[in-house]
Structure 1
Amino acid sequence: MGKVVLVTGVARQLGARFAERIRRQPGVDLVVGVDVEPAGRRPFPSGDPQGQAPPAEYVFAPADLRRPAIARVLAEYAVDTVVHLNVSATSPAAVGRAAVKEINVIGSMQLLGACQQSSTVRRLVVKSTTGVYGSTPRDPAVFGEQTQPKTLPSGGFAKDAAEVEGYVRGFGRRRPDVAVCVLRFANIVGPGADTPLSEYFTLPVLPTVLGYDPRLQFVHEDDAVEVLRLATLDPAAAEAPDTAPDTTGTRNTGTFNVAGEGVLLLSQCARRLGRPTVPMLLPALGWVAALARQTRVSDFSAEQIGLLMHGRVVDTTALREVFGYQPRFTTPEAFADFAAGQSRGLLPPERLTAVTDRLAALLRHDLPATGDRS
């Protein structure tokens, strides 16, 4: 019998895409999608246009992870692989921050408790975020998986993810027979991205913090789905299907940073989108953020303001050398694909580039003259 994969958070774009992808993998017999409500559109076409093997069966199991019912779902379908994608900064339904925190933290605790009691679960994959490292002026230039944050996140999605990772580590100690993989994703972008930062970049004018131009990293949604697929499958089993693999020793077990190579400055992102920036003093930006949340224009959290001040860059050596995956999209390429799907900004990108080049040329021309006068 093949794998039975349970995927949480299928009402979101990433969860729906991943469930569709994993059900087409050889060796997967059943995919169980779990969420409070199904996705707005059916993400699973009935046929396979590429002529490959027919997709595995898909079952949607409506369940609130905050309730003990998830244990019955695991037992009913004899789930052996759990992919937990229901840790997110936002919710598909219009709920407040308190409800989102309950879904992230309490829901994860219930799911881990059910996995601990299950006799069939052998693999757990958890979606996390590089936000667990925080964003402070005392941060190192690059975060590795073992780097401890200077200051723990004080609230928001980053704090939720840090708490969930703590519960996952406790689960791993109690169930050493289960292979656990934690994936810390940088900001996910792409044509279908639905994250708070992607909402920020859709604003006609981008408010920024005066005096700051942070370094940002991105991961393309296609790379995110592929990393989740590899983490779900067992390479040892694929290489030696006739043997019983030691799931705790496979290469896709552990904690990994996931991001495209390279970085972009916030000012570069704005130019690529053709959107002007409005530098503000920090208190004024806080007022704008509060107004954006009240009007539901954008989920402008204090955590995001910290990112827009200090940025964050992570090391992805372990992803390439241990996990065995090189992202197809670099950070600039991932953001370019995101920008291509956005509406044209107030200022055409080529005009912004021309103005920037002109200013740089004037500076180069003036500097020697200034030196001569001195």
Structure 2
Amino acid sequence: MANGAPIKYLKLADELRRGLRGGTWPPGSKLPTEAQLATMHGVSVNTVRRALEVLAAEGSVERCQGAGTFARLAPPPRGERRRIAVVLPERDWYFPPVTAGIEAAAARTRTTVDVYTTGYADRGWDRLTSLAGRLAGADGLLIAHPGPADAASPARASLLRKLSLPYVLLERAPSGIDDPSEHVSTDHAGGAYLALAHLAALGHRDVALACRTGSAPSRGIASGFVEGAGPLGLRVAAQLDWPPITGHDSFEEVLAAQPPLADHVLRGVLGSGATGLVCFGDMEGSALLAAARRADVGIPDDLALVSCEDRHAATEEVPLTSVAPEKFRLGGLALETLLRRLDEPDAELRRVWLRPRLTVRESCGARAANPS
């Protein structure tokens, strides 16, 4: 019997592995308890425990002390590696945590990742077209297209669908009801609602939005702001565009161009009667803090401020309350979604929206002075 025990737990590991690959337990879902699995398969708890240890060692499941066992993507057969191409507009600003999440998931699943950048707008689409030959050798593609909107135009979306390999959109929604693309994206509209709900809980009733225009998150943030204000009993006092700074050679020049814009936006917010402000993104939030200091406006005593980004929010002179996209998790889920498509070509389409996380800091820590 002692010699047969290893065969029994390895046989169970194979059965559970087939269940993982067949969708019985999708990635991220919780498996039954050891006792439940023992009853289901007619084996001892010790056999179950040893089978799960095998699956955990190969990366098919993750065992969390006190929480249970959770499904991960089953890796390809031993010795086989997949090559995934990742196409991003840039790697220095918004996307580094996304890339880190992809690479961490790749390390768990014996996947090789090649990352390419295109830039934005028309030049980015030209670059993407020129990359087509290099992408053709990959098994699959993760792509954040060059924009400018969160969804590609119908013509450009059709170009993506004509690619000769499976793909998943990153932080980009399908272009229309006839677009069958899978995607994993941040629910920016939901994030804006979280910001408004927090301001409402503090007693604010008049709110404003200052939103960087032209970037993929802007549309979702603006729609969530407008749609969320009414149900929360808030008055939209102002919606102010923060135009992107272009035509500069360096990031330092971009920063230097911010103060006049920040002064203009702050005057508009204060003139509207708003006591709460939702701002996208971190750079704009930092510029508004500086503008408030120049104008002797107290943050949060005179104006509560929430940033829809969280790269540097915690380190500001007045740490910014923020709505932070779950970028690392988003990257990992995107790769898992693509690998699932490669393993199960006929599986149902997956479209994932991840709601950001609200982190409360000092920039909106006070109640409104005169809530109505």
Indicate whether the TM-score tops 0.5: no
**TM-score, structure 1 length as denominator?**
0.34
**TM-score, structure 2 length as denominator?**
0.35
Bigger radius of gyration, 1 or 2?
A: 2
